[in-house]
């Protein structure tokens, strides 16, 4: 997401739309008219869903959202305001591409069946800077399609309908792909999508962005041959490419000058040292009080990946961790006469959910604090959380809000 620039403020290769030089570089690489890229960032996630769930008459200027490879109906904070409110907005249209039914597909106006990772080609990067290619093992069943193909097909349809943003400077489709003979391939039609390697075309386009930011990449075929490389990857001699295992270190990073030992060459300090910012800590937007006396922190568990849409369908993992829970300190539980395994209600000013209490569990929260994982779509803890977010990163504050706990009546 960050590397290739698919964020509201970003462009590929570590660029941002607010920088005129970055916009100019992107317009040149993409061969689109000067000024095509707006200098104004789009909405961040919380703001985007606020605008979507707000009636158009009240200023809600987003009427359609297309969701791919994520599950906001379970992960958004304060779901009752940012997602569930969509139920009463007939003028808003929600499209969801997914493999399985999820909390998000339940509110979708249109569901597009997506291919699973074993049913499509793709590339991914991880936290050690490694980029890898994988190839599909089986074709997708029925009408399921690659997310990438869906995006290209819709973009081409928009061009056919006259949308100016889908053409380049020459009036051609913004993402033309040719075969080895130089002939255009209509990859927006499913029967021709796998006639060429679309991943190679996308990667070679993206690769042009990386040389301007010391994130150099090798040609696509080198990644297939090596089964992955860590950037920056440089050509040490014709046809020989070397990955970087240890970045900013003279003994391994080709961009560190001889004799420098270590050099954080992206730093603007002028002396090669890393930059560390010390910002004042912001006070929490909400603190416990007499009505809501506990801190709530949400997070993950070992057995399940994010919202559990895949891992909860694996019997072994589902048996190991079948449902969400609220973990609390035994002294807090004793004060409320709550026993281990008893169903309780965790409630905030925004919503509530029912969960079994877990005492002396894995996390051992301190007194006055609760922990609830968010993987369980039948126990949506994000009905409870707060939509406050960091002013810099726009990351929602899932780690602290004020709640109370009470025993379920009856």
pLDDT (0 to 100) of residue 3: 84
User: For the residues 64-72, what does the mean pLDDT come to?
Assistant: 96
State how far Cα 302 lies from the chain centre.
Answer: 20
Q: Which of 125, 129, 133, 126 is nearest to 244 (CA)?
A: 129
Mean pLDDT of the chain: 94
Give yes or no for residue 359 having a pLDDT over 80. Answer: yes
pLDDT for the residue 74: 97
pLDDT exceeds 90 at position 364 = yes
- Bridge partners, 11 (sequence order): 15
Range 294-407 classified under CATH 2.40.40.20? yes
* Residue boundaries of the structural domains of the chain: 10-208, 294-407
Confidence band for 268, pLDDT divided at 50, 70 and 90: confident
Query: Rounded to two decimals, what is the model's pTM?
Result: 0.92
Tell me the CATH class for 10-208: alpha beta
CA nearest 388: which of 50, 134, 31? 50
Instruction: Name the 3-class secondary structure at 369.
Output: strand
Residues 336-350, mean pLDDT to the nearest whole number:
97
Average pLDDT over residues 86-112: 93
Q: Do residues 373 and 324 lie in contact, with contact meaning Cβ atoms separated by under 8 Å?
A: yes
Percent of the chain with pLDDT over 90: 86
Going by pLDDT thresholds of 50, 70 and 90, the confidence category of residue 211 is: confident
Q: Is 171 left (phi over 0), alpha (psi -120 to 50) or beta?
A: left
Which segment of 85-99, 101-115, 319-333 scores lowest on mean pLDDT?
85-99
pLDDT (0 to 100) of residue 410 = 57
Other C-beta atoms lying within 10 Å of the C-beta of residue 323:
13
| Distance in angstroms (rounded) separating the CA atoms of residues 5 and 13 | 7
């Amino acid at each position: 997401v960050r590397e290739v620039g698919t964020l509201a403020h970003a462009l590929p290769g570590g660029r941002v739309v607010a920088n005129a030089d970055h916009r100019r570089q992107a317009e040149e690489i993409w061969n689109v008219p000067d000024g095509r890229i707006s200098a104004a960032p789009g909405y961040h996630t919380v703001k985007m869903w606020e605008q979507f769930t707000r009636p158009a008459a009240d200023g809600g200027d987003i009427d359609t959202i297309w969701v791919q490879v994520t599950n906001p109906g379970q992960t958004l904070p304060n779901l009752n305001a940012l997602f569930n409110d969509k139920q009463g907005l007939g003028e808003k249209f929600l499209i969801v591409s997914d493999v399985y039914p999820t909390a998000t597909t339940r509110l979708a106006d249109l569901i597009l069946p997506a291919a699973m990772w074993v049913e499509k080609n793709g590339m991914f990067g991880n936290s050690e800077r490694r980029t890898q290619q994988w190839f599909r093992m089986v074709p997708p069943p029925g009408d399921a399609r690659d997310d990438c193909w869906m995006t290209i097909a819709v973009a081409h349809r928009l061009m056919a309908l006259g949308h100016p943003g889908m053409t380049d400077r020459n009036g051609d489709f913004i993402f033309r792909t040719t075969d080895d003979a130089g002939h255009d391939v209509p990859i927006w039609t499913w029967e021709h999508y796998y006639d060429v390697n679309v991943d190679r075309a996308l990667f070679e386009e993206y690769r042009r962005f990386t040389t301007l930011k010391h994130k150099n990449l090798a040609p696509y075929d080198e990644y297939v041959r090596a089964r992955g490389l860590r950037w920056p990857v440089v050509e040490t001699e014709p046809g020989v490419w070397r990955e970087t295992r240890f970045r900013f270190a003279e003994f391994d990073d080709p961009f560190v000058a001889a004799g420098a030992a270590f050099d954080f060459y992206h730093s603007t300090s002028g002396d090669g040292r890393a930059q560390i910012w010390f910002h004042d800590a912001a006070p929490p937007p909400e603190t416990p009080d007499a009505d809501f006396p506990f801190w709530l922190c949400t997070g993950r568990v070992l057995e399940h990946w994010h919202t559990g849409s895949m891992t909860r369908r694996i019997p072994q993992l589902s048996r190991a961790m079948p449902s969400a829970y609220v973990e609390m300190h035994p002294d807090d539980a004793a004060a409320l006469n709550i026993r281990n395994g008893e169903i309780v209600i965790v409630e905030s000013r925004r919503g509530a959910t029912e969960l079994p209490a877990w005492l002396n569990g894995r996390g051992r929260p301190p007194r006055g604090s609760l922990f609830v994982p968010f993987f369980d779509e039948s126990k949506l803890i994000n009905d409870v959380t707060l939509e406050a977010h960091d002013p810099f990163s726009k990351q929602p504050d899932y780690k602290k809000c004020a709640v109370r706990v009470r025993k379920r009546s009856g």
